[in-house]
Amino acid sequence: MTTQQSIFIEASITSVFEYLVKLENRKDYIPALEKVIMLDPSPIKLGSRFTEVSKIAGRRLENTYQIIGFEKNKKISAKATESIFPIQADLLLEKNEVGCDLTISLDFKLTGVFRMASGVIKGIVNQQAKDILRGIKGNME
């Protein structure tokens, strides 16, 4: 399943990209995120790995990701390598006249009991994508 959302940010593409590559900023725009643990030296680049620790519905979850796509001021792609919820997240930036457009694309595979609730889960993931983009916009403008 795939979900995609976009938002306009009144900030330079360079400043938005620099904000996104500082993984410690993720706590500011992902509500359930408690901490990010870098597994490779900063700054992130192609191949970098990190673990996110979240608390969702009273349950502590750890997901490890690897950067699988990286183009300065254009794209960051991360894929879950250890997770109960296999997912790939792509953040794409496009310059426009007065700022930039940020698009988040989430591609995920549901298995087991999650598959039976695919419509509900897709709705939740879609709402989280919107909330993440609003959080980034709020912190950048």
Containing structural domain, residue 53: 2-140
Domain count, the chain: 1
Q: Is the pLDDT of residue 117 over 60?
A: no
Q: Is the pLDDT of residue 126 over 60?
A: yes
Torsion angle, alpha carbons of 103, 87, 121, 135, to 10: -40
Beta bridge partners of 18: none
Can you point out the beta strands (E) in 11-108?
33-38, 49-56, 59-71, 75-82, 87-96, 99-108
Query: DSSP character for 85?
Result: S
CATH number for the domain that contains residue 72 = 3.30.530.20
Region 32-40: mean pLDDT is 92
Q: How many CA atoms lie within 13 A of 93 on its CB side?
A: 25
Q: What is the pLDDT of residues 78-105, one digit of tens each?
A: 999 988 778 899 999 999 989 999 999 9
List the Cα angle 1/132/34 in 5-degree steps: 105
Q: What is the mean pLDDT of the chain?
A: 89
